[in-house]
Chain A
Amino acid sequence: MVKIERISLYKEGITKFFSPNEARIMQLLWKNKKMTSNGIKKELDDLSLACVAGTLDRLVKSGYANRKIDETKNRVSYIYSPIGSRKTVGEKISEKVLESLVDTFGSSVLDAIGKIKKKG
């Protein structure tokens, strides 16, 4: 889960940083803001409820999602929501990657960022 050593730059989209299931669930949470595990399971019907619950638990433990107990008259369930928008998470990951690069290559990383900025 967004560990420097597990970043795969050759993969598509946010699966560079998250596992495919984590990425699918995070996309759903960003889109819907609040969801139950059953709601997520309905959207991702190729995954089992146990797999959805396990992935959500990992996302909560690593600080990308939040869960609260929601109690209505007929049902009790966890409501999951993302911690931070896609943009905030992007900033957090970029910071982590850049810190690691600066730690290894020093000021040349900042020079490279300057070059990218000029191109952009």
Chain B
Amino acid sequence: MEAVECFIDCIVNANLVIPVIILLGIAAICLIFFIIKRRYELLLGAQFIMSIIIIINLLSMNCYMHSWIWIYLGIILTGSIIIVLIKYLIDTYINNKNVGSISYLSDIENEFNVQINVIDSPIIRAFIFLKRIYISMGLIERLEKDEIKAVIAHEVYHLRYSPNKIISSLLALASFSFYRYSDEFSAEKYAANVTSKESLINALKKLDIKDSEKRIKNLSS
């Protein structure tokens, strides 16, 4: 309780009550519109404003609470280092395993106007990394051409319409919301529309991935 009282005193003494309330209001408006419109930019905006509010408040601390700014920056720095490290490890793995484009998939590349990089691995994977689509040999081996096309369409959605995962992870951490926007269902709907629902359902059945049953149910309804 003493810490909370000290925290409130510092904000009041630094004349930050009104700016903080205004910023909180803007963040709340962003969040409400995000819930209505499901536009990820609004969520990122709200998280960014919340991060600013946290930094302003911590900087205004004059008592022992001031040390929290270092703890906060430490958390953000550690999180950033972990994210960069993970990115580096994925990058190294991809560079070692990337065999580039293959002619078998060239018609899909032309249709979606993207480059599809094949990963030399029997593990089943399809993902976006640094604005590029990657698909593993394991996945290509397991699926028929129309099913591969449905999986690629799903990734094309993420490539064109989903938020940057690094930025959204950092903002989720910095705002202490720990919430990252997920648009898997939108990507699935897009893939079903531009290819075929049957192909996508067949691919999900064959791949036996996380939540595949739930995703198939969503598509079927």
Contacts and interface: CB of A to CB of B under 8 A. Distances in A.
Interface of A: 36-38, 49-50, 53-54, 56-57, 67, 69, 71, 73, 75-78
Interface string B198-217: 00000000001000000000
A76 B137 contact: yes
B63 interface: no
Contact of B103 (A38, A54, A71): A71
Contacts, number: 34
Contact of A76 (B104, B122, B208): B104
Contact of A71 (B104, B120, B122, B142): B104
Nearest to B140: A76
B138 interface: yes
B21 interface: no
Contact of B122 (A38, A73, A78): A78
B88 to A, nearest CB: 23
B12 interface: no
B102 interface: yes
B82 interface: no
Contacts of B103: 71
